Amino acid sequence: MDSFHPILLQWYRDNRRQLPWRDTTDPYLIWLSEVILQQTRVNQGLSYYHRFVTTWPDIRSLAVAHEDEVLKMWQGLGYYSRARNLHQAAREILVRYDGVFPSSFEELKQIKGIGNYTAAAIASIAFGLPEAVIDGNVYRVLSRIFSIDTPINSKHAKHVFGQLASQLLYSYDPGTYNQAIMEFGALQCTPKNPDCPNCPLNNQCMAFARNKVLDFPVKLPKKPVSDRFFNYLIPFVSDNHINKVYIRKRTENDIWKGLYEFPLIESSNNPEFEQIIQSEQWYRMIAENNYVLHNQSRLYKHRLTHRLIHARFFIVKLAKKLDSADEFALSLIGQNDLGKYAFPRLIDRYLEESGGFEMLTS
């Protein structure tokens, strides 16, 4: 494998994408790009990166932002815990390190939301430290070249692949090497249809020699997907001839924490509206308020990692404001304020299809 480093680095010089975080050693910009690109394709993440950098060009400006602003900027990327951790980490760095990123791998790992991978990326690219990165691309490249059948989602994978990655690390320029092997996995050694005949490392690839490239990486079966049934009420009232609607912020330790939604009644199946209005939660929320079912949506399905959300939206016109708003932590907002709040992508889809507040007057 003596030729591994020079071949990989030459491939990177010839084929790498021109990305704004590639030619910087600013740990803030490197960290921001790594967090955005977790679970996100580069083409999608690039626009978010530019918006974040334009709005919050440094760690201090991000730290003093309101969490709702950060979540709103993140809207559409999913996995919102990344955005919350990003914001909390910025505040932590501001308080503990006076806004200056720590330069050691171990200190970086102590910061909220920064694990081994992100710490290694920052340490190697920003500070030139010999720390090997392990992401999905690296798992794929190493598993194929060395024909490693350890499942990458098993508890042993980090140890097996971590040791190998550290042995292969090009210590003279670890930052460039780490970017090179990740880029190689993203562009050359792709999950499907890799261009093996034209791969510069094919003569070193054990999987290619055995015609088993697509058998790697090995993965354990995924966890079964569970179903959840969300019945969103959209109660609105006319206040001085302006339609206003109730929303709430999700604060529970559940999906979409910190995002906003309409009042929710979760059930064990897909009930009809007549069944919803017989529930205890409906009675506590709506009580004796007169109402009219204004509209009912189609069934929406939204897949998360281990959950499938089945959701419907019921627009309910109320005769007066809800007496139970405080009990259910509901806020009454007007048409022009709807766009200020960060909603889950599921609700965004519904609002896009229904025309936002136009749904209340259609």
CA distance 129 to 30: 14
Residue environment code for 154-191, b if the CB has 16+ CB neighbours within 10 A, otherwise e: eeebeebbeebbeebbbeebbbbbbbbbbbbbbbbbee
Look at strands 226-239 and 307-318 and give their pairing.
parallel
CA–CA dist 268, 293 (Å, integer): 22
Distance CA 89, CA 120 (A): 16
Closest CA to 30 of 165, 186, 179, 180: 179
Marked catalytic residue, from 34, 67, 106, 183: 34
Indicate if 183 belongs to the active site.
no
- Catalytic residues, by residue number, are 34
